Amino acid sequence: MKSSGHALLSQIMTAKVVTVDISERVEEAVRLMVKFDIGSVVVTDKETPVGIITERDVTRAALRGDSLLRLPVRSFMSRPLQTCTPDMEVSVGFETMLKLAVRRLPVVEDGRLVGIVTEKDLIRWVLRVFYEPNLPDEIRALVNNPKIEALSGRPRCPSCRRYQDECICVRTGLAPEE
């Protein structure tokens, strides 16, 4: 990987992006964030990226007392969607995220979502540049970008019986196992 200051966002982005259709409810977006342990879901309309819902958006709405889970994502998403292109230099992507005060920047090419650059992607890149050319094995393990995959062998929530990584129950006590 080219790690110098001229690296491109296509080299550091997360290629697999979790999306939700604009017709879905916020509950589904939250469920996907929990399932894949991510902080945002890109909203698409016929596969075209049109907005984003972040954990920060959900938290702020919850504190206001909004009943948001049943809302359609179109009424809750942040828009216009701020994006970048895969051929943008990493340093420009850094600057863009700072100027826009965002932690995630979807990568779009010809109107199609091809990836997302997150703060974690940028941190991994900084570590690679810092240790270049002799990346120690323990750092190499930290900077590898894990792929988003469905988890297997998942325990079920004792309350709703959904998989715990998909469960959004808010409980004060644990229900006994069945």
Q: pLDDT truncated to tens, each residue of the chain (178 aa)?
A: 444 558 999 999 988 899 999 999 998 999 999 888 899 999 999 989 999 999 988 888 777 766 777 888 888 888 889 999 999 999 999 999 999 999 999 999 999 999 999 988 898 888 888 887 887 877 777 777 555 444 444 455 666 655 554 555 543 334 344 3
Q: What is the pLDDT of residue 136?
A: 81
Q: Where are the domains of the chain?
A: 9-143, 148-178
Instruction: Tell me which CATH code domain 9-143 carries.
Output: 3.10.580.10
Distances (CA, A) of 82 to 27, 79, 105, 175: 23, 8, 7, 43
The reported pLDDT for the residue numbered 66 is 65
Res 160: pLDDT: 60
In angstroms, what CA-CA distances link 117 with 26, 47, 100?
22, 18, 14
